[in-house]
Amino acid sequence: MNTSESIADPHPHYARLRDGAAMHLVRRTDEPDYWLVTRYAEARAALADKRLFDDDPVPPEFRPERAEELRPRIAEITAGLLDGFGDGGDLIEDFALPLAAAVITELAGDPGRSRPVADVIGTGMVTLFRHPPQRAALRARPALLPAAVEELVRFDGPLTRSAPGRATEELTVGGTVIAKGDIVVAGLAAANRDRRRFPEPGRLDLLRDDAPHLGFGYGRRPCAVAAPARVTAQVAIGALMSRFRRLGPAVPLDQLDWLPDESSRSLRSLPVTTG
């Protein structure tokens, strides 16, 4: 499925797989065969299964309360970057990436994995550009930001699939027998739009309040810095909307420049107008 169409929007492809079966054997020339788990219940169960993901979970490095304490500092870094941002700027290169790198450097001293934060901001803004009523509602009610970020990550989160796990014994996932040694990958993006779990999964609903999506991983593979990553995305999206009331894409939304990587949803650039 490595066409530019499915890189721009992989969700129709995942919908076809998910409608067909909970498990798909993916055979490709560029990586070893693996089972992709496409439905929510099965993906969640797989991520919690020690027989598949037997490495020790990385404990969360930040409690949500501790991440909250960082909010003023994150807001300060955000404001500083936006002071230098204007019409024709690139939301990814000139804002989201430097913000994510600066925050993660302060937290962990290493900007190495900051990319998913930038992706939540960039892809999240594109999703909001595509949904003007929801965007207007969010601008009118900044208190919705935490729920909005969760919904944006469910709807089109930065990591479309988990890292591979390997079956340490024969087991059954979603009715399919997995042989010992087989590789299993949780299809996070596919599971996050499973209608068996999320009513009208293809609808962006910033008010979804019961949305335990898998976009930050789960079970034996939770994101170690989910709490500060969430706060950073909330601050960034809130600041962009309050500071630039006319913010919009400077290129047609069907011509965006996505990195050709099936495992992530990463924009290379997102030129914007600030009005």
Give start and end residues of each alpha helix (H) in the chain.
4-8, 11-20, 40-47, 64-69, 71-83, 97-108, 115-130, 132-140, 145-156, 188-191, 226-243
Q: Does 117 bind ligand HEM (CB under 6 A)?
A: yes
Going residue by residue from 119 to 158, which x/- string records binding to ligand HEM, judged by CB under 6 A? -x--------------------------------x---xx
Q: Indicate which single residue of 37, 52, 104, 272 sits in contact with ligand HEM (rule: CB under 6 A).
A: 104
Q: Which is nearer to ligand HEM, 101 or 137 (CB)?
A: 101
What is the CB neighbour count within 10 angstroms for residue 242?
11
What is the CB neighbour count within 10 angstroms for residue 256?
18
Q: Which is nearer to ligand HEM, 82 or 184 (CB)?
A: 184
Classify burial at 101, counting beta carbons within 10 Å of its beta carbon; exposed 0-12, middle 13-18, buried 19 or more.
Answer: middle
Q: Which is nearer to ligand HEM, 94 or 150 (CB)?
A: 150
CB of 165 to ligand HEM, least distance (A): 8
CB of 1 to ligand HEM, least distance (A): 20
Q: Which is nearer to ligand HEM, 58 or 136 (CB)?
A: 58
Q: Which is nearer to ligand HEM, 144 or 229 (CB)?
A: 229
CB of 114 to ligand HEM, least distance (A): 5
Q: Indicate which single residue of 167, 223, 236, 272 sits in contact with ligand HEM (rule: CB under 6 A).
A: 223
Q: Which residues lie across from 172 on neighbouring strands?
A: 177
Q: Does 44 bind ligand HEM (CB under 6 A)?
A: no
Q: Indicate which single residue of 25, 79, 136, 163 sits in contact with ligand HEM (rule: CB under 6 A).
A: 163
> Could you write out the DSSP letters of every residue in 193-229?
T-TTTSSSTTS--TT------STT--TTS--TTHHHH
Q: Indicate which single residue of 10, 174, 187, 217 sits in contact with ligand HEM (rule: CB under 6 A).
A: 217
Number of amino acids touching ligand HEM (CB under 6 A): 24
> Which distant-in-sequence residues (6+ apart) come within 8 Å of 91 by Cβ?
121, 122, 125, 240, 270, 271, 272
What is the CB neighbour count within 10 angstroms for residue 58?
13
| Dist CA 62 CA 191 (whole Å) | 26
Q: Does 215 bind ligand HEM (CB under 6 A)?
A: yes
Binding segment toward ligand HEM, per CB under 6 A, in 18-26, 27-35, 137-145, 213-221:
213-221
CB of 88 to ligand HEM, least distance (A): 26
Measure the CA angle with vertex 46, ends 104 and 184; round to 5°: 85
> Could you write out the DSSP letters of every residue in 6-37?
HHH--HHHHHHHHHH-SEEEE--SSS--EEEE
Q: Residue numbers of the site for ligand HEM (CB under 6 A)?
A: 58, 104, 108, 113-114, 116-117, 120, 153, 157-159, 162-163, 188, 215-217, 221, 223-225, 229, 233
